[in-house]
Chain A
């Protein structure tokens, strides 16, 4: 048996190889304790399926998304241009990321700054692996036969019209996908987009993630599936706020698959 491999672009370049895809990990995927598990789950799937990939490792930096949305265009562009220089230096063509904010920024905003790549969200990538028969699911693991609801990330859904890939993944498990009333184009934000993740919310009646969590809990689902690190944090906080963390899990799509394949 061999160990899981996490090659970096630098190592690949040193040995004269070039991977098929760059896995863009993102800051949350690198530093957030909870979301690191998602990064690890995704990397295990890539290893298991035998996808040729690499990460930037220490060479990766923030895409600049929160700076841009908070209004600091200089800082955004400093980050973006530096990242583009690194990616163009490795002649990268195809990028896969588990973060819809990184996805949106690299896909839609880097081209104007000289960085044009094919950018795929991990839900789309995983769905294509399922469709190609490279991932064969076993039936849902701990969630088998139970209800799962999917919380649309604004930056994946409304911002980029990706609604079906995450749902196709859930449907590939032996679980029941239940929709919240506000879903797809009418989905309710988790409250973290637009750099809200990095400050306290403005005063109001309640926090957005609590409102959203109440709706998710209302479906009676035993798991809330997400495809975004910010949504994961916000929904998990919401579930804790409602003291339901023992009954309702908040899980990323990659984790659902990894659990199903027994990789966790």
Chain B
């Protein structure tokens, strides 16, 4: 028996592993361009959130059709990995269906289950392709998806369809060969879905079927390794990042904006309030708010890499619904694109962050962030707990505090608040006038 296939498999496997390692390091470094943020409190609540939202798909089930189809692909992905484990062991050992003799009837049952999932994934992916390209579901065809994002989405679906079809074809060829008593192939009992394909293959010679079976096997396992690498370049990264992303969810009430302690110190000094550690020289304040990716928290950037561009946020955004330029999904895509650009520049020995560009201005515009009503619809809508609002508000802080570039009407409001302690220009002494008429009335 030749060990050449095993050697080839080993080389491919190690090479894929190496590429994957490089990609993961690249992504991790990009995410860590962001500022440090500690979010390890309440581990119990965090595990619960991750189990419910990422593992349990809780937020997907707001609308049943996409949820059901997504669940098929999700369950298929998780469970078919067991079969992939067997593929890998077979690849290293030169065996075929190594678990079959140990598991007997259960193996046949498991293979049928995998086939069922494969068909489920296939059907779901076909429906997804139709939703994107034929019925054109609005949130899946918006303008920020033109070009690579639309291509990326279609590629993923087509790759998944190919991988699933190949599994079925492989099983069909495998079972014909087993029934002909060819060495190496184990008769498994009926495999429901692939047996529907056997009539197509039965007329061929044994050697052709062996070739078909082997080709399908290699296509599937190399395809999966390739797909694993492709995912790191793709919006499809959410299949892994959904888990840490939900673990690091914001657990405070959605309405709570993050405090800026560096401002508190200054405010306390101005108001003459003693603060703890006031004797120490104030820590170096980098920048108020966010202009570029490095001003954001690493969690904001991880959010961006976890975004699968489904557009549920944008579909619920009141500003977007009424035709404003703001799209929370685009904000997340902007953050990721900018982090990628900076990362690539650093790797190429380029200027990195100092390339004369920035997230705010070159990717996201003031018009977009000014349109946000901070209503939290995007945060509520995201199936993996991404928080676009946090990023929008940090950029507004930069514009207001570093550039004094807020819209004129907001600057007027700021002025009213400074002088009249109300966003409207009323005399503070009139604040209690509303009570006059009430006090004159008798209780009924």
Contacts and interface: CB of A to CB of B under 8 A. Distances in A.
Contacts of A211: 318, 321-322
B413 A202 contact: no
B422 interface: yes
Interface stretch (A12-20, A41-49, A171-179, A245-253): A41-49
Contacts of A107: 253
B443 A2 contact: yes
A201 B432 CA distance: 31
Contacts of A198: 409-410, 412-413, 423
Contacts of A192: 373
Given A36-B434, A195-B413, A205-B322, A3 B439 contact: yes
Contacts of B401: 71-74
A202 B319 contact: yes
A192 B407 CA distance: 15
Contacts of A159: 253-256, 376
A222 interface: no
A8 B254 CA distance: 32
A25 B59 CA distance: 37
B376 A202 contact: no
A68 B417 CA distance: 12
Contacts of B424: 27, 31-32
Given A2-B443, A47-B443, A200-B409, A104 B255 contact: yes
Interface string B116-151: 000000000000000000000000000000000000
B263 A74 contact: yes
A105 to B, nearest CB: 8
Contacts of A62: 417, 421-423
Interface in B395-444: 395-401, 406-407, 409-410, 412-414, 417-418, 421-424, 426, 428-435, 437-444
A160 B441 CA distance: 36
Most buried by B among A43, A79, A196, A205: A196
A158 B375 contact: yes
Most buried by A among B259, B375, B380, B430: B375
Interface string B229-254: 00000000000000000000000111
A181 B405 CA distance: 38
A71 B393 contact: yes
Contact of B442 (A3, A61, A69, A112): A3
A60 B430 CA distance: 11
A58 B429 contact: yes
A204 B409 contact: no
B263 A77 contact: yes
B410 A70 contact: yes
A83 B407 CA distance: 26
A89 interface: no
Interface in B352-401: 367, 370-377, 379-380, 393, 395-401
B249 to A, nearest CB: 15
A243 B410 CA distance: 30
A30 B413 contact: no
B203 interface: no
Contacts of A195: 374, 410, 413
Contacts of A30: 422, 426, 431-434
Interface stretch (B64-72, B103-111, B265-273): B265-273
A262 B441 CA distance: 13
Contact of A57 (B316, B322, B432): B432
Contacts of A5: 439
Nearest to B430: A31
Contacts of A60: 431
B407 A3 contact: no
B443 to A, nearest CB: 6
B398 A71 contact: yes
Interface in A189-221: 189, 191-208, 210-212
A204 B376 CA distance: 20
B288 interface: yes
A188 interface: yes
B259 A112 contact: yes
A154 interface: yes
Contacts of A70: 396, 400, 406, 410, 413-414
A108 B271 contact: no
B373 A75 contact: no
Contacts of B268: 81
Interface in B154-181: none
A154 B410 contact: no
A66 B263 CA distance: 17
Contacts of B260: 73, 77
A138 interface: no
A154 B443 contact: no
Contacts of A185: 380
B398 A67 contact: no
A58 B432 contact: yes
Of all A-B residue pairs in the complex, the 8 with the closest CB atoms, nearest first, are: A159-B255, A205-B323, A71-B400, A194-B374, A71-B396, A204-B323, A61-B421, A199-B409
Given A61-B428, A62-B423, A189-B318, 5 more contacts: A8-B432, A78-B270, A158-B376, A159-B253, A192-B373
19 contacts: A30-B433, A31-B430, A58-B431, A61-B422, A67-B417, A69-B374, A70-B413, A71-B396, A71-B398, A109-B259, A158-B380, A159-B256, A160-B255, A185-B380, A187-B377, A192-B373, A199-B370, A202-B325, A203-B324
Interface of B: 62, 252-257, 259-260, 263-264, 266-268, 270-271, 273, 288-289, 316, 318-319, 321-326, 367, 370-377, 379-380, 393, 395-401, 406-407, 409-410, 412-414, 417-418, 421-424, 426, 428-435, 437-444
